[in-house]
Amino acid sequence: MSARFQILVLHGPNLNLLGTREPGVYGSTTLEGINEALTELAGELNVELKILQSNHEGALVDAIQGARGECHGILINPAAYTHTSVAIRDAVAAVALPTVEVHLSNIHAREPFREQSYLAPVAVGQICGFGADSYLLGLRGLVKRLEK
Ligand code: DQA
């Protein structure tokens, strides 16, 4: 059976270092481990994922623009760009695809500068604080939204 929805999964800067990067904050699961868990869940939900990690803001903007006409929704952890990037927010607003924002850590319980998300106002919703499970919860939430 062909997949019901195509979903773009984006990981922002420094998330390629997961596993060794501040494990007390971000846990010990590697990005590869997160992608494997997402791919397994995608199979159960009968959706197809296109996954990209980039340390570059423009590459993330290009990927969001490229999702128009190709994908039904976006699951994104913009990482540090959450708190700085008007360009990523504008790209999401421009393509008008349902977008779910996820974070491993609870960005509202850390340094004050992490509390602001430029993306949140144009996202369907934000899931944070559940470690690698934030991604799985985010994917489930996005697929529920797409089913409606
Ligand atoms: C993060 C939280 C951001 O504040 C931080 O810059 C990251 C990771 C998270 O997943 O918890 O790189 O998005």
Q: In the prediction, which pLDDT does 53 show?
A: 98
Edge-to-edge strands of the sheet including 47-53?
47-53, 5-11, 73-77, 99-103, 125-128
Residue whose CA lies nearest to ligand 1 atom number 10: 103
77 within ligand 1 shell (Cβ under 6 A): yes
Q: Which residue has the tokens 């846990």?
A: 27
Report the alpha-carbon distance of residue 76 to residue 64 in Å, rounded: 10
**Cβ count within 10 A of residue 8:** 22
Catalytic residue set: 26, 103
103 within ligand 1 shell (Cβ under 6 A): yes
Residue whose CA lies nearest to ligand 1 atom number 8: 79
Residue whose CA lies nearest to ligand 1 atom number 2: 79
CB 6 within 8 A of CB 71: yes
82 within ligand 1 shell (Cβ under 6 A): yes
134 within ligand 1 shell (Cβ under 6 A): no
- What are the tens digits of pLDDT across the range 72-92? 999 999 999 999 999 999 999
Q: What is the mean pLDDT of the chain?
A: 97
What phi and psi values does residue 4 have, to the nearest 5 degrees?
-75, -40
Q: In the prediction, which pLDDT does 77 show?
A: 98
- What are the tens digits of pLDDT across the range 42-51? 999 999 999 9
**Predicted TM-score (pTM) of this structure:** 0.97
- What are the tens digits of pLDDT across the range 8-26? 999 999 999 999 999 999 9
Candidate from 107, 128, 133, 134 with most ligand 1 atoms within 8 A of CB, to mutate: 107
Residue whose CA lies nearest to ligand 1 atom number 12: 79
- What are the tens digits of pLDDT across the range 125-140? 999 999 999 999 999 9
